[in-house]
Amino acid sequence: MANKRRPKKFKPPYKKYVGGIGYVTSSQIIVNGIIVDKSKYLYLQEEDEYERPVIDMMGKLILDSSDYSKQKHEKQNKVSGIANSKLPIELYSMILDYMIDMDNDDNFNMNKPEINTKAKYIDSEYSLVCKDFYLVMLPRLYNTPNLTSRNFKNFIDTLDEDKKLKRNIKKIPDNIVTPKHLASFVKILDLSMIIQSGKNSIISKLLRRCSSSLIEFIAPQTSFGTLSLTTLRSCLNLKSLNLQLVAEKVDLNELFTTLNKFSSLKHVALPRAFFNCELLIENFITGRVKFEGGSVWPPNLVDVTLCGNVTNSFISICFLPTNLKKLSIAYCPLLDDVSIYKILDRCAYTLETIHFGYPLTKLRSDSLDDVLRYCSGTLKELTILVDYISKYFFLDDSHVATNLQTLTLDCSGSLSQLNKLHPDDLTIALVENRFPALKTIYLSAKIGWDLNSDDVQDLISVFEDQDGSIYMTY
């Protein structure tokens, strides 16, 4: 027990310094630059504070009633906001959406708005107009937060304080609506710029707070471990999951057990390093783990990015969905051309975009020559590496792509790949009308073509006759 006989510690009165006046104690207030003692100050009721003047005990006039009438009108104008406006709140919401899009894009077209899921810059001063504007802007401020290493901690603290504050609010179903947490407004969580700024427990807590509304999640480079992967199960409304930046090894068996239950998931990008791939295949064959729909993949998947230690046996046994529209393959050192053609053969009727990235170490210098034989009818965009094709990719008469609109020729830049293709190979394919819908060609500078040479100029002139454009990428 504390010693009650011990003398209490003396606390001097709090003083603060006011510029041009001096030190003021807690028992004094300042009115129009004059120090007034609270004990001599006459307090009035709220209903009469704008009607009568304020007079001290000596009868001296401090504030006239006319001054208070001005303050009354100013206060009423500030509080009213747009409550008395003739325009509906939905119209203000639409105007704010257009203003935010115009701040992020100078060429924004109001008649043709584009859906952009990236974090946008939102001027917080829009929410300072009035209380109604603040309520309208609040979901937009937290919809796609632009998080960096500098503001990440403040973002976490704000969500914690908001939850603690609204947890103590008494719920009266007849009078008030249950307040929403700020975390429920977060739909797109991009943590790609969070580097060495969080722990596994912090990322897991953030996922748990935003699980009810989260639609898209981009994992950070670090601090995404087993705990975060377990918490990911609660994000049942997830539509896009990107794990490409994760540097830590991820349990593939645990990952696919979680993803298989996401019926709304459309896009998934596998991490670059994972383990237990063989355990996943064994559990799928023996039936130890029940997968819905007879497949380890989510049922409504349309966009897949394969990377990491994906094996040939995984591709042969765990088939990809047949409704894929976009396929990206990169950083797959264990994948050969046979497995790639198995994927194309299964998804050829729906694929619209194919992207091959470097490195694919098990492929030969001509392994991807027959890509157009499998998906020539529906393919609209193709990115392919010159390292894994030869001139017969363009010279073979059976390689026809009737709907191909964008072709990107990329290169790793190694010495053996310079001048591997000749501009005339592509020119012959265009003259023979094997790419009738092609409008855009992106050429990597690492291919080694000279833009001022006659061969490249012939290619440009032939392609311009088809209303096409050629761009050089660096």
Q: In this predicted structure, what is the pLDDT of residue 197?
A: 61
For residue 474, pLDDT over 70 is answered with yes
- Please tell me the distance from the alpha carbon of residue 335 to that of residue 314, in angstroms, as a whole number: 10
Q: Are residues 115 and 42 in the same domain?
A: no
Max mean pLDDT among 62-66, 105-109, 177-181, 446-450 falls in: 446-450
In a domain, 266, yes or no: no
pLDDT tens per residue across span 320-341 = 988 999 999 999 999 999 999 9
Q: Are residues 354 and 422 in the same domain?
A: yes
Secondary-structure percent of the chain, ordered helix, strand, coil, rounded to 5: 35, 15, 50
**Domain count along the chain:** 3
Q: Are residues 417 and 448 in the same domain?
A: yes
In a domain, 160, yes or no: no
In a domain, 270, yes or no: no
Q: Are residues 28 and 65 in the same domain?
A: yes
Q: In this predicted structure, what is the pLDDT of residue 129?
A: 82
pLDDT tens per residue across span 71-91 = 555 555 544 444 455 677 788
In a domain, 73, yes or no: yes
Give the pTM.
Answer: 0.77
- 4-13, 248-257, 324-333: which has the minimum mean pLDDT? 4-13
Higher-pLDDT residue of 467 and 60 is 467
Q: Checking DSSP bridges between strand 34-37 and strand 28-31, what pairing results, if any?
A: antiparallel
Q: Are residues 60 and 113 in the same domain?
A: no
Q: Are residues 38 and 113 in the same domain?
A: no
Q: Are residues 378 and 458 in the same domain?
A: yes
Measured CA to CA in angstroms, residue 258 lies from 34, 40, 253 at distances of 68, 70, 9
144, 171, 192 - which closes a domain? 144
In a domain, 115, yes or no: yes
The residue behind tokens 């593939």 is 252
- 65-69, 135-139, 376-380, 427-431: which has the minimum mean pLDDT? 65-69
For residue 280, pLDDT over 50 is answered with yes
For residue 285, pLDDT over 50 is answered with yes
Beta bridge partners of 356: 329
Reported confidence tier of residue 432, pLDDT bands at 50, 70, 90: very high
In a domain, 369, yes or no: yes
Q: What is the average pLDDT across 262-273?
A: 93
Reported confidence tier of residue 125, pLDDT bands at 50, 70, 90: confident
Measured CA to CA in angstroms, residue 31 lies from 66, 71, 75, 316 at distances of 16, 14, 18, 82
- 13-22, 262-271, 372-381: which has the minimum mean pLDDT? 13-22
Q: Are residues 101 and 53 in the same domain?
A: no
Task: Report residue 356: phi and psi, to 5°.
Answer: -110, 125
Supply the range of the domain harboring residue 108. 85-144
In a domain, 331, yes or no: no
27, 47, 80 - which closes a domain? 80
pLDDT tens per residue across span 398-408 = 899 999 999 99
For residue 36, pLDDT over 50 is answered with no
Instruction: Quote the mean pLDDT of the chain.
Output: 81
For residue 53, pLDDT over 60 is answered with no
Q: In this predicted structure, what is the pLDDT of residue 50?
A: 40
Q: Are residues 38 and 114 in the same domain?
A: no
Q: Are residues 63 and 133 in the same domain?
A: no
Q: List the CATH number of the domain containing 372.
A: 3.40.50
pLDDT tens per residue across span 362-397 = 999 999 999 999 987 899 999 999 999 999 999 998
For residue 58, pLDDT over 80 is answered with no
For residue 16, pLDDT over 70 is answered with no
Q: Are residues 73 and 96 in the same domain?
A: no
Q: Are residues 452 and 472 in the same domain?
A: yes
Reported confidence tier of residue 215, pLDDT bands at 50, 70, 90: very high
Q: What is the average pLDDT across 196-208?
A: 83
Beta bridge partners of 224: none
Reported confidence tier of residue 179, pLDDT bands at 50, 70, 90: low
Contact 224, 200 (CB under 8 A): yes
65, 80, 95 - which closes a domain? 80
Q: How many helices (H) and strands (E) does the chain have?
A: 14, 19
Beta bridge partners of 268: 241, 304
Reported confidence tier of residue 94, pLDDT bands at 50, 70, 90: confident
In a domain, 267, yes or no: no
- 176-180, 312-316, 390-394: which has the minimum mean pLDDT? 176-180
What stretch of H or E contains 281? helix 277-286
Measured CA to CA in angstroms, residue 354 lies from 159, 269, 326, 357, 393 at distances of 40, 14, 6, 10, 15
Higher-pLDDT residue of 370 and 6 is 370
